[in-house]
Structure 1
């Protein structure tokens, strides 16, 4: 990748406003879901294995979802040549709203499916509810990301560093 000066990045960033396709939004959401799912599943597994309360398990899962979600973006933009401080700012701008939507949706579903949080790691109910929750979170987050990318926000902020 050639390095962009600040003005070039700003100009490139504005070229993408209003041009958000569904495939771009789905791709951005899938990227976000990858980090969220790693953290969410890890948090649910650790919390359930340790016998934590539902609230503590969800808190752990959400915390890890944010950490892994941001980490994947940071890793990508560091490879593009950004310094850590700037990479963190890009990750926060790119992923925060998407992660929040995903986490609210998937944890609401996990809590809403009777017995899912208490089913245990060997239960199809636990894993089925978690897979269903992540799938619904993906579907509901795609339009949010499409709207944000179309306005030069969210994943559009990181797009310039992927070329």
Structure 2
């Protein structure tokens, strides 16, 4: 269940992270602005994916938002710290352009590292009835 929860989180984070990095890089934003945009979009897309799923079960927007906040905040936070720290640690990754393989390979590696580091966090949360355990209660899993 922890791997599934982390893959779910990675999906939202990756959409937001990639979109933020692409927009920031394409527009020539400073590293800090690019990372801030990527993090904001990762949270938006991560929460939106969870909310979409639980709203299909009949919950209203407010209830779905509460579940998404409870289920995803720690996971997204850990994932974003890990993948952005990794991107910053790779020489030239943030300065690479969109046509540069270094940009894309660094971003893919950063997301993979974030996944590996986040699985144990999600496992710990789920074992205590928190994190995605809350979502699964509403999906009927």
Instruction: Tell me how far 1:162 sits from its aligned partner.
Output: 1.3
Correspondent of 1:65 among 39, 42, 50: 42
Q: Does 1:134 align with 2:134?
A: no
| Aligned position for 1:51 | 28
Instruction: Determine if the alignment matches structure 1 residue 85 to structure 2 residue 62.
Output: yes
TM-score normalised by structure 1 residue count? 0.85
**Which residue of 10, 26, 35 corresponds with 2:3?**
26
Root-mean-square deviation (CA), in Å?
Answer: 0.4
Q: Which runs of 5+ in 2 are unaligned?
A: none
Q: Which residue of 2 aligns with 1:151?
A: 128
Q: Which structure 2 residues correspond to residues 34-45 of structure 1 after superposition, within 5 A?
A: 34-45=11-22
Distance 1:44 1:83 in 2: 32
Pairwise CA distance, 1:151:
0.1
1:116 equivalent in structure 2: 93
Instruction: List alignment gaps of at least 5 residues for structure 1.
Output: 1-23
Q: Which has the higher contact order (CA 8 A, sep 6+)?
A: 1
Calculate the TM-score normalised by the size of structure 2.
Answer: 0.99
Report the Cα distance in structure 2 between the residues aligned to 1:162 and 1:33, rounded to whole angstroms: 19
Which of structures 1 and 2 has the bigger CA Rg? 1
CA distance in 2, matches of 1:86, 1:130: 33
- Counterpart CA distance in 2 for 1:134 and 1:140 is 10
Structure 1 residue aligned with 2:84, among 103, 107, 128? 107
